[in-house]
Amino acid sequence: MVLGLKSKEVVTLKDGSVTAPKGFKAGGVHCGLRRTKLDLGYILSEVPAIAAGVYTTNVFQAAPLQVTQKGIAVEQKLQAVLVNSGNANACTGEQGLQDAYVMQKWFAEKLGIEQHYVAVTSTGVIGVPLPIEKIESGIAQILSPEHEHVTNFEEAILTTDKSVKHHAVQMEIDGKTVQIGGAAKGSGMIHPNMATMLGFITTDANIEYEDLQLALRQVTNHTFNMITVDGDTSTNDMVLAMANGKANNEKLTESHPDWELFIKGLKEVSESLAKQIARDGEGATKLIEVHVKGMKDVSSAQAIGKTIISSNLVKTAIYGTDPNWGRIVCAIGYSGEKVDPEKVSVSLGPIKVVEKGLPCLFSEEEAVHYLQQENIHIEVEMDQGDYEATAWGCDLSYDYVKINASYRT
């Protein structure tokens, strides 16, 4: 057994990120796309890593996503990721596509690796040509030792985010320590319809492409796809996972005895990043968690949870500390799922406000006090089955309008 690890246990690493797994490093630099902040970051694996991804469903898919997907399709491997903030390189036509390829080519040449081993992605303002000469300047200096730090990467990928987002775990598989790390950005244009943010997950696990892709999709459906900030789905965003095999465990597949342990670790990293994104929503003051129980299947529970968390009336009520449970019930009713109103119960934290479709007597003062907290839990019991799901979001404040009214200026 690995010293300090218990079998079948996932251990959270303090301040862990994408460099927690063996064989990964990261960094970032300021190249001038943003006025003063770091704006060009990278992740690099010592060896080509198995790569999987999930991508935005927006039909206006940005040029870097197209280039990255084509690159992964060659061998299902990546060795490096290059990310810029400040410019989305989306809706930029043929020139934007060529700029994305040039960005990929330059970084590959800098690293001395095959071009398709480099993923490129961009985030920022849509419809503005990418200042490619600034990217070239950044690539020239980005690998310098003074720029090699994971915090530089985490900061370089941010746009309107207030804070960096990271998480990492480790576990024992086949007597080897396997680690999974992640970093993400996301604050606005967040809606539960993959993928409305940028997420980067690394692991030193030994796993094949099909199994990593399967694991990422399964976990994404219960984490990144269960968050919302404002109901907008971006043109650019995705989650990439890289597995370089440096842990030297036996190859992970669905039939491996520790497959569920690996999934548990991947889910912890993804859920933590998803919740950090939801909490960091533009102008947000609270994280809202909606737990829906008692449905006939998971997808129905998910649909109801996402409808509640997406409701602007629910979000504004939470911001205003108004225990207006009618807005929650209303959202359940228009979710599109079959609902028996006489079986629905709703609680705000420990305070039950609806039972079997009817209002409960509760202390308005206690409910207001509960809603003043930073983390708000809404529990919905449907009493129609045995399945459940959880969704996360944030309140909607005046600052959201202020931030987005002046995003380009």
Is residue 257's pLDDT more than 60? yes
Is residue 179's pLDDT more than 90? yes
Q: Model confidence over 49-62: pLDDT tens digits?
A: 999 998 876 667 88
3-7, 129-133, 309-313: range with highest mean pLDDT = 129-133
- The pLDDT of 69-82, averaged and rounded, is 97
Q: Which residue has the higher pLDDT, 290 or 233?
A: 290
Question: What are the percentages of helix, strand and coil residues in the chain, rounded to 5?
Answer: 35, 25, 40
- The pLDDT of 122-130, averaged and rounded, is 90
- How far is it, in rounded angstroms, from Cα 246 to Cα 162? 34
- The pLDDT of 64-68, averaged and rounded, is 94
CATH class of 11-279: alpha beta
- Which range is least confidently modeled, 178-187, 231-240, 263-272, 316-325? 231-240
pLDDT at 28: 98
Handedness of CA 65, 239, 216, 169 (dihedral sign): positive
Is residue 284's pLDDT more than 80? no
- How far is it, in rounded angstroms, from Cα 343 to Cα 356? 4
- How far is it, in rounded angstroms, from Cα 149 to Cα 26? 6
CATH 3.60.70.12 occupies which residues in the chain?
11-279
pLDDT at 5: 54
pLDDT at 406: 59
Q: Which fold has domain 287-405?
A: Ubiquitin-like (UB roll) (3.10.20)
Count of other CB atoms within 10 angstroms of residue 304 = 25
Tell me the whole-structure pTM to 2 decimals: 0.86
β-strand partners of 345: 381
pLDDT at 53: 94
Q: Model confidence over 185-203: pLDDT tens digits?
A: 975 444 444 334 799 999 9
pLDDT at 194: 38
Is residue 143's pLDDT more than 70? yes
- How far is it, in rounded angstroms, from Cα 118 to Cα 68? 7
Question: Residue 3's pLDDT band (boundaries 50, 70, 90)?
Answer: very low
Q: Which residues are catalytic?
A: 196
Q: Which residue has the higher pLDDT, 7 or 106?
A: 106
CATH 3.10.20.340 occupies which residues in the chain?
287-405
